[in-house]
A and B are shown apart, each in its own frame.
Chain A
């Protein structure tokens, strides 16, 4: 009877089922099963849509997509590799320009550090050119704009900024040759100065808004006169800075010579005064020979005066020597320092020895510990 009822209900049509089930009957099922069923159903829908695209077309799409991906990935990384500068080359005339050079000596970046530099770069594109071509084009533009035609001749500072010294020499030599060739051709009076600085200097220069090459020149200036600020020479041309350097160098040399002369003269005076005083004393002696006792006394006085004069002269010499060039002073200071450092050296050695000893001890102890621990491990 029951099976009959079931079969009867199985045969209900849509209308009848709708009537029978008008009341909502709750049929629970677990969410995992539901999600599995959903996945299966979506798969069936997906299969249907996939079937619509023919097989070879799908394969072609997949292959071309893979090829595209490879090409773009390769292209992007290759371009980044090409674009990465391994060194920088600064050209300072007064236009200050910094060129980024990649591993194939191609210019991959160009930056003007001042208005003149920006103008020069604007005139001609140097990007992706070979270094020599780029430098030539820059020097040409600079010449056209009149930066090289100065009454006393122009100066160009070429500074390579890299940690690779071989690369640095290669870059500066190439650039120097190019510029000198150009100058010869055009019969220009151009002095080329090459320098090399490390990459760490670049940050320092960037903060001042100048090229590391120019900073290097200004620091040369500062070596002569510490009161010179980098800011003052920021906008000066290389020629001006070099002129200032030369002037200061001459001045220093002149100062040194003068001081040397002064010291010579002063030492000459001392000798002269000593002689005079000696003569005076002898005359005194002769004049007062009669009075022996008095003469003796006077002789003693004279010798005392002589000694005093000698001491005076020596003191003066010392003072002069003391007031001589700072370098000499520094030398003496350095000597002192050397003396100071020499003295405690044996102590340091001792300390080193001690340290070594203690190290050995510690090694031994650690060895023992290791042995101990290994023994423990064995246990």
Chain B
């Protein structure tokens, strides 16, 4: 994947449209899934498509700033997609309150795309821990958890994608959550 990413990035940096084509062919599903999950309840299909194209356009624009050693194109796209979708979600609800921590957004704006520095060290610790925990779950729970809580896919979609019964998925999720509970409860307390 890394070699492929580098060729795509090279093309993008040369403003070659082929790079954009390859990028979209490879990651459109990922970006679409993220955006769709976040805003499909409040936006039309056209709005979702518009948002996805915005994500790719943004990466195309700032391709010169992308450093593959800091993260893969997939990660960059996922982060941009999340940020854009959340932006739309927040604008829609006109929430002045900061419900979702958007440190990433400021991070990108202040230090440019791809900076991994976080302002909140406590949260960073929790995040690293939770990733470890999720990865420690092993297959297929690891994928199910990512699909359920990162891509925010409903159980039915996950069952179709992974060819596992909906019941089994739900059971596995509840069991995995128990494992993560301690950590999450601590996070909740910390957050409160």
> Which A residues fall within an 8 A CB radius of B?
1-2, 4-21, 23-29, 33-34, 36-38, 40-42, 44-45
Contacts and interface: CB of A to CB of B under 8 A. Distances in A.
Contacts, number: 143
A18 B71 contact: yes
A151 B153 CA distance: 111
A34 B70 contact: no
Interface of B: 1, 17, 20-21, 24-25, 28-30, 32-33, 45, 49-50, 52-54, 56-57, 60, 70-72, 74-76, 78-79, 82, 86, 99-104, 107, 114-116, 118, 123, 126-128, 130-131, 134-135, 142-143, 146-147, 149-152, 161, 177, 180-181, 184-185, 187-188, 191
A134 B181 CA distance: 107
B66 to A, nearest CB: 10
Contact of B131 (A20, A27, A33, A42): A20
Given A11-B102, A13-B118, A27 B17 contact: no
A12 B127 contact: yes
Given A27-B151, A40-B49, A11 B107 contact: no
B76 A14 contact: yes
A34 B49 CA distance: 9
Given A13-B116, A14-B79, A41-B56, 13 more contacts: A4-B187, A9-B130, A14-B75, A18-B72, A25-B146, A26-B29, A26-B161, A34-B25, A34-B28, A36-B49, A37-B32, A38-B21, A41-B20
A14 B71 contact: yes
A37 B20 contact: no
B32 A5 contact: no
B70 A15 contact: yes
Nearest to A41: B53
* Majority SS at the chain A contact face: helix
Contact of B28 (A9, A13, A29, A44): A29
B161 A28 contact: yes
27 contacts: A1-B184, A2-B149, A9-B130, A10-B100, A10-B101, A11-B123, A12-B131, A13-B104, A14-B75, A15-B71, A16-B127, A17-B79, A18-B71, A20-B135, A20-B146, A23-B143, A25-B147, A27-B29, A28-B29, A29-B29, A33-B45, A34-B25, A34-B28, A36-B49, A41-B20, A41-B60, A42-B17
Nearest to A24: B1
Q: Which 3 A-B pairs have the closest CB atoms?
A: A27-B29, A14-B71, A40-B53
Contacts of B20: 41-42, 45
B180 A7 contact: no
Contacts of A44: 53-54, 57
Contacts of A20: 131, 134-135, 146, 150
B161 A11 contact: no
B46 to A, nearest CB: 9
B80 to A, nearest CB: 9
A1 B79 contact: no
B149 A17 contact: no
A33 B185 CA distance: 40
A38 B23 CA distance: 10
Given A10-B100, A37-B53, A4 B188 contact: yes
Contacts of A1: 177, 181, 184-185, 188
A21 B78 contact: yes
Nearest to B104: A13
Given A1-B181, A14-B70, A29-B28, A7 B101 contact: yes
A333 B161 CA distance: 102
Contact of B127 (A8, A14, A23): A8
A8 B152 CA distance: 12
A18 B74 contact: yes
Contacts of A36: 49
Contacts of A16: 127-128, 131
Chain A CB within 10 Å, residue with most, of B32, B45, B147, B151: B32
Contacts of A13: 79, 104, 107, 115-116, 118
Chain A CB count within 10 A is highest, among B74, B75, B76, for B75
Nearest to B120: A11
Contact of B130 (A8, A37, A41, A42): A8
A8 B125 CA distance: 11
A267 B75 CA distance: 129
A14 B131 CA distance: 13
Contacts of B188: 1, 4
B24 A34 contact: yes
